[in-house]
Chains A and B, each alone.
Chain A
Amino acid sequence: MKDTVKQIVEKYSKDKTRLMDILIETQEAFGFISSEAIEVMSVMLNMSKVDVEQTISFYHFFSTKPRGEYAIYLNDSAVAHMFGRQAVKEAFEKETGIRFGEVTPDGKIGLFNTACIGMNDQEPAAIINNKVFTRLTPYRVGEIIRCIRSGCKVDELINESYGDGKNQLPSLRAMVSSNIRRKGMILSDDYVYGTVTSEVLPKMSPEAVIAEIKHSHIRGRGGAGFPTGLKWEFCRRSKGEKHYVICNADEGEPGTFKDRVILTEKPELVFEGMAIAGYAIGGDEGILYLRYEYRYMKEYLEQVLDEMRNKNLLGKNIAGIEGFDFDIRIQFGAGAYVCGEESALLESLEGKRGEPRDKPPFPVEKGYLNQPTIINNVETFATAVRIVQNGGEWFTQFGTEDSTGTKILSISGDCMFPGVYEVNWGFNVNDMLNMVGAYDVQAVQVGGPSGTLIGPDEFNRTLGYSDLSTGGSMIVFGKQRNLLSDVVLNFMEFFIEESCGSCSTCRNMTQVMANKLKKILKGKGVVKDLEDLRSWSKVLQASRCGLGQTAGNPIISSLKNFRHLYEEFIQKEKDFDEGFDLVAAVQDSCKYVGRVPNFHHH
């Protein structure tokens, strides 16, 4: 083992900033990261062991204990629960004889929960040794476990047909479906990749590229909505030894999966967009930061990059433009939602815990390795190609005045046709629901858990930066759903799990609020609890990053728009209830001393 770890560390030139790669390769080689492996790394990288371990323990997919020869990660998102996760979970436990969080005594199979894996349109889904298994049923679980027991390799566990589109390629062979249900300028098939790089770019200066992007008024597609052109311009003007282009493909917001689809069906467009950005800001290195849940795409995406290098769309003097050098590498994350926050992503890229940085300085001044860096969403880069191709003016005819262009939505939940839809900004929620075949809708979660939960009286609102802003996650809830216990609590637990823990506010207030929600759901709530939730949540505004600032949104927005659901649980006759459960509190001691308490005796 030690020799293998040594080779891995040497492969990355004993570079601390590549610790993520070192850990990923070690984890994949042995199924866990042993104390001997940590010892080797700490000596070779001149770090204390606890320093190596603090990166390991930050990421959900790293483990210092064996996770089983077949590590099964079952998605725990709210939508997975809506589509039968509980039965699938029980089947896994019954077939393996262990509980989630455990490994079978023979070390063969491990069962683990995992946050949204970007398959909301084909739940319940699980990841087994980096392969994705979608639309699971208890019957399929039985087959999979029996097949594992009989010695099947992970590829042999698949008896489904592969998914649609490029999922069938030999380098992917995934049962994942792309489910593209509406195409626009990005998902359309009428663009031959490389056209802009080889035909348009040679006639344009970097400044002219930035001018077109600015003129298009495109804003970041990840959700925060910062004007892309300005970002590129600031970065170009910042002085540094090197400028970096980073593509944020860490899509972790529950309910979003459009980046997975773009990277499956149009990866060339994304990479071309990154190269164009490199040309514009004067950078020659690009990094695709891809969430580990999409590890199954590694071989495929590497092939695409190779193909683009062969066509001189990446590499040196691209498209014959003297000095236009640009190449891209893929960096995987290891399971941390917060790494979708751009400065946390940078920390992770540098091999550290994904704790967001204080701003200022902004990444455009001091980003990756302290150099000027732009970080844009997958969709933003893809869109940039079409803008440079057709001009910023052309782009503004799509969408609305303050939200130009198209937006790719990931729509899931209670609807006939979940999947990916590219629409013009300004689309309204009613039209969206009619488009996807959603009837008897109780609520729509716009923008994922960190966004807003709206009811039918707001379905006439439109999607856009000035009204309902969204990074693309749209989850539909039918009338049969119990919003508070099945959705809001799930979202709060997600935020508790995914907080980096750095800020006192986000680390603690999410837990305080979730505890109060549980108290209310147990029937122990009073009217004051609702006011407390609202006023206490304000503390979260003082958190460093967007995750912390929005971590109370599931409760805040449901309390605002669905207050009646809370009121149903509230005790009308009481002003105060500390929520203390005496029966539960004395249960252990009573059992121990063999007494039956008499609570009615005073």
Chain B
Amino acid sequence: MSNLIKFKIDGVECMTERGKFIVEAALENGIFIPTLCNMPGVKPKGSCRICTVKINGRLMTSCTTPVADGMEVESNSTEINELRKSIVELLFVSGNHFCPACEKSGNCELQALGYLYQMMVPRYPYEFPLREVDADSPYIIKDQNRCILCKRCIKTIKDEQGRSLFAFRDRGHRLEVVLDKELAAEMTPELAELAMKNCPVGSILVKEKGFVEPIGKRKFDKTAIGSDVKL
């Protein structure tokens, strides 16, 4: 049996190796499916739900669903785009995201998706939650106002013994990502840098290093997120 399988995204014939997740396979075929919590090479968790697609009438996350032979995926449709826009809006209203004052502006994936889906004002009322900024660690700042709870830092930032520097606290609407005080005091500058890089928004910042790239030269300043995806 060949290891290559055929499938379709929005009617476009695609091909990939067996076992690949839809989101990766789409990329290989020049099709962009937006993600926030997903990172290439890291076990997916399907928590932001932004990569939701429709397969056989069911909503599935494309970062966690492997491609099957003959699968037909609906992604860039009115219904799915509307859903994705709703999710972006939900993330905006449930935190405090003030782009003009944010160090990550222009490099922020949430902001970029806001532009992609042409969000003007979220349809949901702002919650303006009271959130803290944790600046206890000598190297990094954890700003809870901006956290979208994607878990990328939890999954990727570990010390040499494999212990997580970040973890969830509480659950549901009170959920937060917190930083381990002791491990954070001993983290290397490289790990701090990686934590900032892996955060899709501006919730993790390396201290004294807010604005390295000038505005105008940042990742999504001139081109939309996903526009680099081509065959």
The answer to whether A binds B is yes
* Residues B78-98 near A (CB distance < 8 A): 83, 86-87, 90-91, 93-94
Q: Does B27 contact A (CB under 8 A)?
A: no
- In the complex, A509→B167 CA distance in Å? 23
- Which one, B45, B123, B125, B148, contacts A358 given CB within 8 A? B45
Q: Does B115 contact A (CB under 8 A)?
A: no
Are A48 and B91 interface neighbours, CB within 8 A? Answer: no
Are A507 and B175 interface neighbours, CB within 8 A? Answer: yes
Q: Which residue of A lies closest to B94 (CB)?
A: A508
- In the complex, A59→B4 CA distance in Å? 44
Complex interface: chain B residues within 8 A of A496 (CB):
172-173
- In the complex, A230→B64 CA distance in Å? 24
Complex interface: chain A residues within 8 A of B49 (CB):
503-505, 542-544
Q: Does B118 contact A (CB under 8 A)?
A: no
Asked, given contacts A57-B170, A507-B173, whether A50 binds B179 with beta carbons under 8 Å apart, the answer is yes
Q: Does B61 contact A (CB under 8 A)?
A: yes
Q: Which residue of A lies closest to B125 (CB)?
A: A515
Q: Does A168 contact B (CB under 8 A)?
A: no
Are A504 and B148 interface neighbours, CB within 8 A? Answer: yes
Are A512 and B45 interface neighbours, CB within 8 A? Answer: no
- In the complex, A505→B59 CA distance in Å? 13
- Which one, A49, A358, A539, contacts B64 given CB within 8 A? A358
Q: Does A501 contact B (CB under 8 A)?
A: yes
Residue of A48, A497, A505 with most partner-chain B CB within 10 A: A48
B150-163 vs A, Cβ < 8 Å mask (1 yes, 0 no) = 01000000010111
* Residues B150-195 near A (CB distance < 8 A): 151, 159, 161-175, 178-183
Q: Does A360 contact B (CB under 8 A)?
A: yes
* Residues A501-530 near B (CB distance < 8 A): 501-505, 507-512, 515
Asked, given contacts A53-B167, A512-B124, whether A504 binds B47 with beta carbons under 8 Å apart, the answer is yes
Complex interface: chain B residues within 8 A of A49 (CB):
180-182
Are B163 and A46 interface neighbours, CB within 8 A? Answer: yes
Are B163 and A504 interface neighbours, CB within 8 A? Answer: no
* Residues A473-505 near B (CB distance < 8 A): 496-505
Q: Which residue of B lies closest to A578 (CB)?
A: B125
Q: Does A47 contact B (CB under 8 A)?
A: yes
A414-457 vs B, Cβ < 8 Å mask (1 yes, 0 no) = 00000000000000000000000000000000000000000000
Are B168 and A539 interface neighbours, CB within 8 A? Answer: no
Complex interface: chain A residues within 8 A of B170 (CB):
57-58, 501
Q: Which residue of B lies closest to A60 (CB)?
A: B171
Q: Does B144 contact A (CB under 8 A)?
A: no
Are B171 and A512 interface neighbours, CB within 8 A? Answer: no
- In the complex, A48→B178 CA distance in Å? 12
Q: Does A217 contact B (CB under 8 A)?
A: no
Q: Which residue of B lies closest to A499 (CB)?
A: B172
Q: Which residue of B lies closest to A361 (CB)?
A: B66
Shortest beta-carbon distance, B147 to chain A, in Å? 12
Complex interface: chain B residues within 8 A of A358 (CB):
44-46, 61, 64-65
Are B180 and A544 interface neighbours, CB within 8 A? Answer: no
- In the complex, A585→B65 CA distance in Å? 46
Are B149 and A507 interface neighbours, CB within 8 A? Answer: yes
Complex interface: chain A residues within 8 A of B171 (CB):
57-58, 336, 353, 499-501
Q: Does A541 contact B (CB under 8 A)?
A: yes
Are A50 and B164 interface neighbours, CB within 8 A? Answer: yes
Residue of B61, B172, B183 with most partner-chain A CB within 10 A: B172
Interface size class of A (residues with CB under 8 A): 35 or more
- In the complex, A542→B149 CA distance in Å? 17
- In the complex, A586→B66 CA distance in Å? 53
Asked, given contacts A49-B182, A503-B47, A508-B91, whether A54 binds B168 with beta carbons under 8 Å apart, the answer is yes
Q: Does B127 contact A (CB under 8 A)?
A: yes
Complex interface: chain B residues within 8 A of A511 (CB):
94, 127, 173
Q: Does A28 contact B (CB under 8 A)?
A: no
Q: Does B48 contact A (CB under 8 A)?
A: yes
Complex interface: chain A residues within 8 A of B66 (CB):
360
Q: Does A568 contact B (CB under 8 A)?
A: no
* Residues B129-161 near A (CB distance < 8 A): 148-149, 151, 159, 161
- In the complex, A512→B173 CA distance in Å? 10
Q: Does A576 contact B (CB under 8 A)?
A: no
Q: Does B52 contact A (CB under 8 A)?
A: yes
- Which one, B59, B64, B90, B162, contacts A509 given CB within 8 A? B90
Are A507 and B172 interface neighbours, CB within 8 A? Answer: yes
Complex interface: chain B residues within 8 A of A360 (CB):
65-66
Asked, given contacts A505-B49, A507-B173, A542-B49, whether A512 binds B125 with beta carbons under 8 Å apart, the answer is yes
Complex interface: chain B residues within 8 A of A50 (CB):
164-167, 169, 178-180
Complex interface: chain B residues within 8 A of A191 (CB):
none
Are A508 and B169 interface neighbours, CB within 8 A? Answer: no
Residue of B173, B174, B183 with most partner-chain A CB within 10 A: B173
Asked, given contacts A58-B171, A512-B124, whether A544 binds B87 with beta carbons under 8 Å apart, the answer is no
Q: Does A101 contact B (CB under 8 A)?
A: no
Residue of A49, A58, A500, A502 with most partner-chain B CB within 10 A: A502
- In the complex, A149→B129 CA distance in Å? 40
Shortest beta-carbon distance, B133 to chain A, in Å? 17
Complex interface: chain A residues within 8 A of B94 (CB):
504, 507-508, 511
- In the complex, A54→B167 CA distance in Å? 6
Are B91 and A51 interface neighbours, CB within 8 A? Answer: no
B: residues with CB less than 8 A from A are: 44-50, 52, 59, 61, 64-66, 83, 86-87, 90-91, 93-94, 123-125, 127, 148-149, 151, 159, 161-175, 178-183
CB-based closest 10 A-B pairs:
A501-B175, A50-B167, A358-B64, A499-B172, A54-B167, A50-B180, A48-B163, A48-B180, A508-B90, A508-B94
Could you give 5 example pairs across A and B, Cβ below 8 Å? A54-B167, A358-B65, A496-B172, A503-B48, A538-B83
Other A-B pairs beyond A358-B46, A532-B123, A541-B59, 12, CB < 8 Å: A47-B164, A50-B180, A501-B170, A501-B174, A502-B149, A503-B47, A504-B47, A507-B149, A508-B173, A511-B127, A512-B125, A542-B83
A: residues with CB less than 8 A from B are: 46-51, 53-54, 57-58, 336, 353, 358, 360, 496-505, 507-512, 515, 532, 536, 538-539, 541-544, 578-579
